[in-house]
Structure 1
Amino acid sequence: MTSMRRIKVGIVGLGIMGRVHTKAYKSHPNVEVIAVCDIDEAKAESFAREFSIPRFYTDFRAMSEDPELEAVSITTPDFSHKEPVITFAKAGKDILCEKPLATSTSDAEEMVKAARNSGVKLMVAFHNRWSPPYAILKSRVISGELGSPIYAYARLCDTIYVPTKMISWSSKTSVIWFLGSHVVDLVRWIFEREAEKVYCVKRGYILKSMNIETEDFLHYIVEFQDGAVALFENSWVLPETLPSVVDFASKFVFTKGCVYVDTHHSQAMRVFTSAKAENPDLFGGPLEIHGHLTGFNVRTVWHFVECLIEDKTPLSTGEDGLAVTKIIEAALKSAAEGKPVKI
């Protein structure tokens, strides 16, 4: 593998996920990160220096014109994926876009169309498809061992640390975009069925009292083809005293069995110090094990590289991103109108 040519990539958006993608690329033997971009010039320059990256930009349009650049990760905030994706697609660069693909169906459709018309790959980073428990669950679904899906429950929540301290743009998104896109994709992928109808309820008290104009939580029920149903819960106002920033658990019921997955409240590892109790992340990463990076966030990026090297279709495509955006947009419409909405 190391004898292959090195693919030259760049990263747009140098926040938390930009750092994750950069570390993942830098750990791959067949990748060279040649450029990064952020609207904050000081951050872009410092980031490039930290990771020994030769070029940095403050304008993604200028970066898209780099003749050496072959592929790019878009790791900007939820609401700002459209313009970079379309720009790089038109420039002939393959794209790995963080979830959600877009926060409106019309934007997502334009992005998918731009990639298709330019003949470039558009992958959406639905990281949990590479999480070991869910990858194993998917393999059991494919084998037929579990039968057909009947219903599911998926809870993905964060502590209030995330919208108040971890990110600065929580008022410009919703927890259903920030977290819900993960679990909506996961259930759709496991069910192997398209969504048909959604009913959603949302409430906002705590964050709005802190002048952060976004919802505290959303609960929504999605009906899928063939009668399968999923109940979702997304919140980001849990107390910071929880032993994990993330609260993620799910249950899938099939005609021949059921599966429970809980990646953040397991007894696998618990750490107690005089300062706090902690359930460390054992799945996402990047996790350094004996000098090597691993974790499903890393594996997502490596899969994108594999698709470039082998010229194959990504496991999570732009069309998958579009499908998720349609479901979430319909859920928000349902919450606003107070009634079920067809998808």
Structure 2
Amino acid sequence: MADLKMKQKKPLSKKKLKAALAGVGDISMMHRPGYVDNPDCELYAICDPDPERLALRREQWGVPRIYTDYSDLLADPEVDLVEVLTPHHLHCGMVEAAAAAGKHVSVQKPMCTTISEAERMIDATRRAGVLFKVFENFVFYPPFVKARELVAGGEIGEPLTVRFKLGASMFGSRPYP
């Protein structure tokens, strides 16, 4: 059986990484905790074309920098990495632009809408020498983390198959932690 424990990697840098979220719609509520709860990272900036939503998130989160223009965000030399949380058809161009600006990039699933876009994104990040990942948010979803611990600890035996159904709002009746 595959090792289900998450391995701790060496830090990328001795300095605290400054992250930016590009797109602060509802899905950003699930991604923000991963940056805020990480002692090696700071949620430094947010970007969204909707000024009202941007102002709301700034008030909620106390983020130092806000941008309505993605190019301005990418021009900020303090930003080390960008999490792209926008509609899928925008992912390719945004990843290419972030890579060209020398920013590490994480993109919300699905990565893009075509194979050729995927190839362009991979090529752009390789050429720029930046890290690139496609984020699967359920990897850190508390029930899945607990299930992984139970399996890894041998408490429920070796699974032959896994099936789950999620039939509730992502945020339920209370804010996501």
Asked if Structure 1 and Structure 2 have the same fold, meaning a TM-score greater than 0.5 normalized by the shorter chain, the answer is yes
Q: 1:72 to 1:280 in 2, by over 3 A?
A: closer
Tell me which of 36, 52, 74 is aligned to 1:42: 52
Q: Deviations over 1:221-272 (max 9, x none)?
A: xxxxxxxxxxxxxxxxxxxxxxxxxxxxxxxxxxxx862324447xxxxxxx
1:112 shift after superposition: 0.7
TM-score, normalised by the number of residues in structure 1? 0.40
Q: Is 2:42 the counterpart of 1:32?
A: yes
- Asked if structure 1 preserves the Cα contact closer than 8 Å seen for 2:82 and 2:105, the reply is yes
Aligned with residue 19 of structure 1, among 11, 15, 29: 29
**Equivalent pair of 1:6/1:31 in contact (CA under 8 Å):** yes
> Deviation at 1:33?
1.2
Pick closer, same or farther for the CA change 1:97–1:280 going to 2, 3 Å: closer
Distance 1:5 1:287 in 2: 28
**1:102 paired to 2:112:** yes
TM-score (norm: length of structure 2): 0.74
1:72-87 aligned at under 5 Å gives the runs 72-87=82-97
Please give the alpha-carbon distance, in whole angstroms, between the structure 1 residues aligned to 2:19 and 2:56.
Answer: 18
CA gap 1:6/1:261 in 2 versus in 1, 3 angstroms:
same
> What is the CA distance between 1:19 and its match in structure 2?
2.0
Distance 1:287 1:74 in 2: 20
Give, in whole Å, the separation in 2 of the partners of 1:42 and 1:34: 19
Q: Answer yes or no: is 1:126 the counterpart of 2:136.
A: yes
Q: Could you tell me how far apart the structure 2 residues matched to 1:287 and 1:259 are?
A: 31
Asked if the contact 1:38–1:57 (Cα under 8 Å) also holds between the matched residues in 2, the reply is yes
Match of 1:259 in 2: 160
Equivalent position amino acid for 1:259 in 2: L
Q: 1:111 to 1:280 in 2, by over 3 A?
A: closer
Query: Which segment drifts farther, 94-103 or 74-83?
Result: 74-83
Percentage identity across paired residues of the two chains? 28
SS at match of 1:5: coil
Q: 1:135 to 1:62 in 2, by over 3 A?
A: farther
Q: Is the 8 A contact 1:129 1:135 kept in 2?
A: no
* 1:6 aligned residue (1, 16, 19): 16
**How big is the shift at 1:49?**
2.1
SS of equivalent to 2:161:
strand
In structure 1, what is the Cα distance between the partners aligned to 2:118 and 2:89? Answer: 11
- Superposed CA deviations along residues 27-67 of structure 1, whole A, max 9, x for unmatched, are 22221111100110121122112101111111111100001
Find the aligned partners of 1:287 and 1:92 in 2 and give their Cα distance.
32
Deviation of 1:136 (Å): 7.7
* More strand by percentage: 1
**Does structure 2 retain, via aligned residues, the 8 Å contact 1:36–1:57?**
yes
Specify every segment of 5 or more residues in structure 1 that has no aligned partner in the other structure, as ranges: 140-256, 266-277, 289-343
Any idea what SS the aligned residue of 1:43 has?
Answer: helix
* Separation of aligned partners in 2, 1:10 and 1:20: 14
Alignment coverage as a number of residue pairs: 152
Q: Please state whether the residue corresponding to 1:25 is helix, strand or coil.
A: helix
1:23 and 1:128, CA in 2 relative to 1: closer, same or farther beyond 3 A? Answer: closer
The answer to whether the Cα contact below 8 Å between 2:125 and 2:131 also exists between their aligned partners in 1 is yes
Residues 287-306 of structure 1: pairs in structure 2 closer than 5 A: 288=177
Q: For structure 2, which runs of at least 5 residues remain unmatched after alignment?
A: 1-9, 153-157
Distance in 2 of aligned mates of 1:82 and 1:117: 15
The equivalent position to 2:102 in structure 1, one of 92, 96, 107, is 92
